[in-house]
Structure 1
Amino acid sequence: MPKKHPRADSLKIRANLSDSFDNRIISQFGLIAHGRGEAFDYILGETTTKISLKTIHVATAQLLFSNSVISVNGNSAALCAKNIVKLANLTNSKIEINLFHKSKTRANKISQLLKKHGAKDVYGLNAKYLTKIPGLKSNRKYIDKRGIFLSDVIFVPLEDGDRTEFLKKMNKTVITVDLNPLSRTSVMSDITIVDNLVRVLPEMIKQSRNMSDLSESDLQKIIKKFNNKKQLNLILKYMSKRLIDLST
C-alpha cells in the first residue's frame, strides 16, 4: 500500500482488523462496529479536536488519581494492545478482559496479545475470581473480583451502553472513547472522549508522562472542573458546523 495513499492509515487499520478477525481476536460484530465508528471519524475530519484534547487531559488525570482498570475487548486489543499496556503501566491501572461475544479462545488470544506487549497481569480470565454486575444480562456482566469489582474508575474504550449503565449503578466512574457522541455509552459515561482510539491512547500516554509529578490535589482540581454534558454539546456543535461547512 503506497504511503501517500489518502486512506493509508485507515486501510492499514482495516487490514489489521481483518487479520484479527481471522485470528479470532475480534468477532464479526466488531468489524461492523468499527465501520460505524469510522463514519463518525470522517465527520470529525479524522483528527483530534481541541475539545477532545481537553477531555483526554481530564481522563488521564482521573486514571492517575484513582484505583483504575482498563477494560479491554477484541477491537481495542487488536487496534492498540501495545499502547494499552503502556498506559496501564504509566497510570498504575489494571487490565481486565471483558467480552460481549465471549469465548475462552478469544479471551486467551487477547491475553496472549497483551502479554506479548508486556502486560504482566491480565484479569477477567480465571472463573474462580469472576462475579456478576447486578442486573446486567449480557456476557459482559462477568467482572473480576480483583479488578473492575474493586476499582473506582473503569476506562472502557469501545464500550456498549448496557454495561456502562450498570457500572454507574455500582457507583463506578466510567471513562470511554466513542466516535459517536449520541450513543448511550457516550451520554451515560462520566468522561467521554469523542475521538478515534488509535489517536487517543498515544495522547493519553504523552499526558500521563507530563502529569506524573502532579499532586493529588492538582489532579482533583482538573477532574472537578469537567462537565461531560457540556463537552458532548461542544463536540456535537463542532461536527454539525463541519457538515455545514462541507456542504457549502
Structure 2
Amino acid sequence: MIPDNHPRYRSLVARERIADAVRSGIVVVEGASAHGRGEAFDYLLCEKTSESALLAEKTAAAYLMAADRAIISVNGNTAALAADEIRELAEASGAAVEVNLFHRTDERMAAITAHLKAAGVTVLEGTPERLLPLSHDRALCLRDGIGTADVVLVPLEDGDRCEALVAMGKTVITIDLNPLSRTAQTATVTIVDELTRALPNITRACRDMTPETGNQLVAAHDNTALLRAALRQIQETLADALD
C-alpha cells in the first residue's frame, strides 16, 4: 500500500503498474527498464509540465483535430500506465487506437487489447500487414490504421519507427521525456513530458480547440525551439542543484 501523501506517490504508483503489467504479460522486462530511464529524465524536468511542453501538447491537439485520419499507437507501457487517458483522448480527438509492438506475440497483442477494451477503449483489430520499411515487427500494422494515417501519436516510441513514419510523409507526435533521443529529434511534434501528465493536457486542448487557434498553432510550430527549451530546463535544474 502506497500512502497518497508520499512525496513520490505518482511515481511509485506508476512503478507498481509497470511491475503488475510485467507479471501479466502486458509489458516486457525491457519495457520496465525503459520506464526507469524516462523517470530519470523526469527528475531533471522537476516532475512537472513546463510551458514549452504545454505548448507542444496544445500543438499536438491542433494536428490531431485537423487530421483526416489520426491514430493513437499504443504499446505495452502506454496501455499499462494510461488506458483511461487513451480512451479520453480518443473520444476528444476522434483518433482511432491501434496496438503496435516491438516485442510482438499473439499473446501480448491479445492481452494489451483486452486491457484497453476493459478501460472502454475501442481498439482497431484485423490482419496486420508489413507496411512500414522496418526489419522488425513494428513494421506490422493495419492498413486502415497506421498504414493510411496522416497523423500518428506515438507515445513512448522507439526511434526507427518514428523515422520511418516521418519518411512516409506522416505527421508524428511523440511523448518522450528524453529530448536527445532519436525519436524526440525526429518527430514532427515532440512533447517532453510524462505520459500521464501529457495525455490529459492534449485531451483538454482538443476539447477547447477552435479551427482558428489550431491553424495558428500549426503555423507557429517550431519543434527545434521546443527541444531547446526542454534542454534549457534540464540545464537550469542541474545548475540549481550545484548552487
Q: TM-score, normalised by structure 2?
A: 0.96
What corresponds to 2:51 in structure 1?
50
Does the CA-based 8 Å contact 2:83-2:121 persist in structure 1? Answer: no
CA separation in 1, counterparts of 2:89 and 2:190? 17
Q: Identify the match of residue 225 of structure 2 among 206, 216, 230.
A: 230
CA separation in 2, counterparts of 1:99 and 1:60? 24
What corresponds to 1:246 in structure 2?
241
CA separation in 1, counterparts of 2:92 and 2:5? 33
SS in structure 2 at match of 1:195: coil
CA separation in 1, counterparts of 2:191 and 2:18? 22
Listed one character per residue, the Cα deviations across residues 74-105 of structure 1 (whole Å, up to 9, x for unaligned) are: 00000001110110111110101000000111
How far the C-alpha of 1:131 sits from its partner, in A, is: 3.4
CA separation in 1, counterparts of 2:216 and 2:119? 33
Listed one character per residue, the Cα deviations across residues 172-199 of structure 1 (whole Å, up to 9, x for unaligned) are: 1100000000000000000000010011
Q: List structure 1 runs of 4+ shifted beyond 6 angstroms.
A: none
Share of identical aligned residues, percent? 40
What corresponds to 1:143 in structure 2?
141
Does the CA-based 8 Å contact 1:131-1:145 persist in structure 2? Answer: no
Aligned-residue CA RMSD (Å): 1.1
What corresponds to 2:28 in structure 1?
27
Deviating more after overlay: 111-120 vs 18-27: 111-120
Output the amino acid matched with 1:154.
V
Output the amino acid matched with 1:108.
A
CA separation in 1, counterparts of 2:217 and 2:7? 37
SS in structure 2 at match of 1:30: helix
Deviating more after overlay: 75-84 vs 201-210: 201-210
How far the C-alpha of 1:117 sits from its partner, in A, is: 1.6
Matched pairs, number: 241
How far the C-alpha of 1:126 sits from its partner, in A, is: 2.6
Deviating more after overlay: 111-120 vs 44-53: 111-120
How far the C-alpha of 1:200 sits from its partner, in A, is: 0.5
SS in structure 2 at match of 1:101: coil
